[in-house]
Amino acid sequence: MTTTTSAGIGFRSQRGPILIALMLATGLVAIDSTIVATAVPSIVHDIGGFSAFPWLFSAYLLAQAVSVPVYAKLSDMIGRKPIVLGGIGLFLLGSILCGVAWSMPALIAFRVLQGLGAGAVQPMAITIAGDIYTIAERAKVQGYLASVWAISAVVGPTLGGVFSSFGFWRGIFLINIPLCLLAGWMLIRTFHEDVQRTKHRVDYPGAVLLTVALSLIILGALQGGQAWAWNSSISIAVFAIGAAAFAAFLLVERRAAEPVLPPWVVSRRLLTTTALIAFGVGAIVLGLTSYVPTFLEGALSTSPILAGLALAALTLGWPISASQAGRFYLRIGFRRTALIGISLTVLGAAALVLTAPRPSVLLVAISCFIVGLGLGLVATPTLIAAQASVEWNERGVVTGANLFARSVGSALGVAVFGAVANAIYAGKPYGSISPDTIISASTAVFVAVLISAVLTVIAVFAMPISKSGPATSTTQTQARGTTP
């Protein structure tokens, strides 16, 4: 094991090539998170399945969520590199299949494969950054990684709108092919690690039970009130079996030799509260990402490109504040920084609710930008606080648990928001839904997003008060980089 000391952070530094590779890998997930939403109307027009379109997000996020803990645990066992490369490969295969999908069920199934890839790519990129940079350096590094989301916030919706305008929505998936190949090649060339190989036992029963539990709970939330009544026997059975599977998962984790989610992850107050915050962040982000474009396109007949750019304001605000988050948490601590951020988030969500009955692209963009500014000061400091509290051999699990919570929040959030919207759309064919109905459904979703933000405030207040630690501290890592 080697010790990484401060040696610059920019692209020309010793670790610059690794940083570029991590940014490319992050770009895969970042672009995918914004490019699909703007193309939903075109996809539905081509292959149908309007009532099922929320599953384009839920299925992807579910696969991502349930796979993150497994990848995180494996990365602490065998290293980060094989996991992130395997994830890129799965994401590539899923993208190719999505590009040739012939129906909404097929597209949803292939999105699952994409999600399994994303479950490895995003957490490993963040974990590797945590391995090779100190606490003080991570704030600046987050600025670099956040800039990927900023670029994707513009490129993703624009590409999605362009492909949709030309009737070629399949291009939003096929464009991932060169990106995956470039990201994989860069990581193979620049990132190397020395890992002591030891025999481990993977917690397969825990992984299976977690997958079953989350799948059933999300299925019940999304289909309730649509495929069956909320108080029907099938609805009760789905939720009951899901809850039973989750209870069994908890029992298995207590006895497993190497649990996929070790009990100490939820026994430490800092890790528990930051995970709850990540859950709220995931719900807020996907609630807006999934419904803002549909809201603007349906209520104002705006073009997919313009609707996407309005949504891009959220992912532009996030990296701006995330890149400056280090200045805050190094001075006032992680908790106070997160409190400032969640206050901005609540303010932006409230503004969106108040202005939704009178649709305006500009007002939506401003509201989303404020939400993004707030989330940048919430997500970044809380994740770094969790990473800083553990050593290398636990950092993968901790990072994975945090992003797992965010993914679950996103998946459940989309399911719940979809149930809220579908309850208003109920009985109306896609082509006959009026702008007023879309406004009503979107407003209801935005109210649910606001509630999620308010509940997240409670989790932030529950965080233990802690400083970031010495700005000059070093971090232990098993990673090293080579200059091309």
The CATH number of whichever domain residue 473 belongs to comes to 1.20.1250.20
Residues 349 and 449 in one domain: yes
Q: Quick one: 433 and 291 in the same domain?
A: yes
Lowest-pLDDT range of 45-54, 128-137, 373-382, 392-401 = 45-54
Q: Are residues 17 and 146 in the same domain?
A: yes
- Do 214 and 81 belong to one domain? no
The residue out of 215, 233, 256 marking a domain boundary is 256
- pLDDT range class, residue 10, cuts 50, 70, 90: low
The mean per-residue pLDDT over the stretch 414-432 comes to 71
Confidence category of residue 263, pLDDT binned at 50, 70, 90 = confident
d(C-alpha 274, C-alpha 350), whole Å: 23
- In a shared domain, residues 423 and 471: yes
Compare 13 and 59 and report the one with higher pLDDT: 59
Identify the domain boundary among 256, 275, 300: 256
Read off the pTM: 0.75
Question: Is 95:3 a contact under the CB 8 Å cutoff?
Answer: no
Residues 315, 188 share a domain: yes
* Amino acid present at 247: A
79 and 160, same structural domain?
yes
Q: Residue 40: give the domain boundaries.
A: 2-203+257-481
- Written in H, E and C, the secondary structure of 437-462 is HHHHHHHHHHHHHHHHHHHHHHHHHH
| pLDDT for the residue 474 | 38
Q: Which helix (H) or strand (E) holds 254?
A: helix 233-255
Angle at 355 between CA 351 and CA 357, to 5 degrees: 145
Higher pLDDT, 2 or 387: 387
Task: Quote the pLDDT of residue 226.
Answer: 63
Least confident of 197-201, 267-271, 343-347, 382-386: 197-201
| 157 vs 302 pLDDT, higher one | 302
Alpha-carbon gap, residue 481 to 484, rounded angstroms: 9
Q: Is the pLDDT score of 476 beyond 60?
A: no
Residues 216 and 308 in one domain: no
Q: State how many domains the chain has.
A: 2
Task: Say whether both 246 and 325 belong to one domain.
Answer: no
- Are the CB atoms for 187 and 27 separated by under 8 Å? no
N- to C-terminal Cα separation, the chain? 23
Q: How far is the C-alpha of 125 from the C-alpha of 138, rounded, in Å?
A: 12
Q: pLDDT tens digits, residue range 214-225?
A: 778 877 776 666
356 and 249 assigned to the same domain: no
245 and 261, same structural domain?
A: no
Q: Two tokens at 284? A: 């807020």
- Boundary residue ending a domain (223, 256, 289): 256
Q: What is the pLDDT of residues 222-239, one digit of tens each?
A: 666 666 777 888 889 999
CB 90 within 8 Å of CB 116: yes
One domain for residues 99 and 228: no
